[in-house]
C-alpha cells in the first residue's frame, strides 16, 4: 500500500487520529532504566506494544536516537514496529532540508536504511530539496507549514508581496503542496495544534492533504479545537502526542500508563468529530 492507503487503513482499523511520538530521553526513563541510552530500544518497543492498536501512526524523532548514538536501536525499533503493528505507518521525524544531491542521500537514509513510510521535511530550500523523496513510489512526506513553536512567526507568518494575492508564507507552502509539488500524490503538511485558526486555513487551502499536527499534550494544544479545524472524512489528520504518553508514569507501570494516556487522547479526538 501507499503511505496514504496505510494511513487510511490504520485510521479505520484503530479508530484513531492519534500519532504516538517516540522522543526517548533516558534521563526521563523509569528508575530501572533511567540514564541508560542502551535501553532506548527496550523502552520504545514497550510503548509500541502498548499502543499498537490505538495509533494511526508512530513518529520516531531521529535526533533523540542520534544524540545517544542509538541509530542502530532505531533500525531495530522500526523492524519491531513492522512485526507487531504492520498496519501502522512509521513517520520518521527528521525535518530534513538540503540541496538535491544531499537530499537524495537523506531519502536513502529515511526510506532504505530505516524503512520509514514517510518523513518530515523543511520546504524552505525549494522543490529540488523535496523532489528526491517523491521519487520513492508510495512514500510520503510532510512539509513544515505552520509549526507549533513560537518562533514559527518569524518566517511562516510573513506576507509574500511578490506572489499573487500576497499570501502569508505558510499559506504559500500549503498551496504548493496541494498543487504543483505533489507529484507522487503523497504529500502532507505539518501544522501545529497550538494554532487552530491556522489549521483551519491550511485545511481550506489543502482540502485533500493529510495534516500532521503536533502540539497536543505537553505543548498544550487543544485536542477538540484541533479536530474541529482540521478533520475531514476524506482527508486524515495525524495528531501527535509524545511526552504526555511516553512519560505518563515514571514507575514500572510506564507502558500501562502510556496505554491509558494514549487511549484517553484517542477517545478525546474521536469525540470531537461528533
Convert the pLDDT of each residue in 61-95 to its tens digit: 999 999 999 999 999 999 999 999 999 999 999 99
| Predicted local confidence at residue 218, as pLDDT | 53
* pLDDT tens string 107-131: 999 999 999 999 999 999 999 999 9
Q: Is the pTM of this model over 0.85?
A: yes
pLDDT tier, 28 (very low <50, low <70, confident <90, very high otherwise): very high
Q: Domain spans of the chain?
A: 3-272
Can you tell me the distance from the alpha carbon of 198 to that of 213, in angstroms, rounded to the nearest whole number? 11
Contacts of 128 (CB under 8 A, 6+ apart): 99, 100, 103
Instruction: To the nearest 10°, report the CA torsion of 174, 180, 181, 182.
Output: 90
Locate all alpha helices (DSSP H) within 32-182, ordered by sequence. 40-51, 62-66, 71-84, 100-108, 131-134, 153-156, 169-178
CATH class, 3-272 region: alpha beta
pLDDT tier, 142 (very low <50, low <70, confident <90, very high otherwise): very high
Contacts of 66 (CB under 8 A, 6+ apart): none
- 28 as an active site residue: the answer is no
pLDDT tier, 14 (very low <50, low <70, confident <90, very high otherwise): very high
Catalytic, out of 28, 95, 264, 270:
95
Amino acid at each position: 500500500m501507499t503511505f496514504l492507503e496505510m494511513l487510511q487503513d490504520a485510521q479505520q482499523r484503530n479508530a484513531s487520529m492519534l500519532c504516538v511520538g517516540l522522543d526517548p530521553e533516558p534521563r526521563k526513563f523509569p528508575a530501572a532504566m533511567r540514564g541508560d541510552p542502551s535501553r532506548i530500544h527496550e523502552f520504545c518497543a514497550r510503548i509500541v506494544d502498548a499502543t499498537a492498536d490505538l495509533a494511526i501512526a508512530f513518529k520516531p524523532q531521529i535526533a533523540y536516537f542520534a544524540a545517544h548514538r542509538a541509530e542502530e536501536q532505531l533500525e531495530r525499533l522500526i523492524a519491531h514496529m513492522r512485526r507487531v503493528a504492520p498496519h501502522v505507518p512509521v513517520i520518521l521525524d527528521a525535518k530534513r532540508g538540503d540541496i538535491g544531491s544531499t537530499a537524495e542521500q537523506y531519502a536513502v537514509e529515511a526510506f532504505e536504511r530505516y524503512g520509514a513510510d514517510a518523513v518530515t521535511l523543511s520546504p524552505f530550500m525549494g522543490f529540488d530539496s523535496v523532489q528526491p523523496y517523491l521519487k520513492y513510489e508510495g512514500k510520503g512526506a510532510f512539509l513544515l507549514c505552520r509549526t507549533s513553536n513560537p518562533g514559527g512567526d518569524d518566517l511562516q507568518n510573513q506576507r509574500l508581496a511578490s506572489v499573487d494575492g500576497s499570501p502569508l508564507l505558510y499559506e504559500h507552502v500549503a498551496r504548493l503542496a496541494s498543487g504543483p509539488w505533489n507529484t507522487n500524490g503523497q504529500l502532507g503538511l505539518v501544522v501545529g495544534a497550538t494554532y487552530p485558526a491556522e489549521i483551519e486555513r491550511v485545511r481550506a487551502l489543502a482540502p485533500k492533504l493529510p495534516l500532521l499536527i503536533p502540539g497536543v499534550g505537553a505543548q498544550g494544544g487543544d485536542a477538540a479545537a484541533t479536530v474541529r479545524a482540521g478533520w475531514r472524512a476524506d482527508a486524515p489528520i495525524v495528531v501527535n502526542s509524545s511526552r504526555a504518553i511516553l512519560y505518563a508514569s515514571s514507575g514500572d507501570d510506564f507502558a500501562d500508563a502510556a496505554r491509558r494516556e494514549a487511549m484517553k487522547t484517542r477517545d478525546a479526538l474521536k469525540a470531537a468529530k461528533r
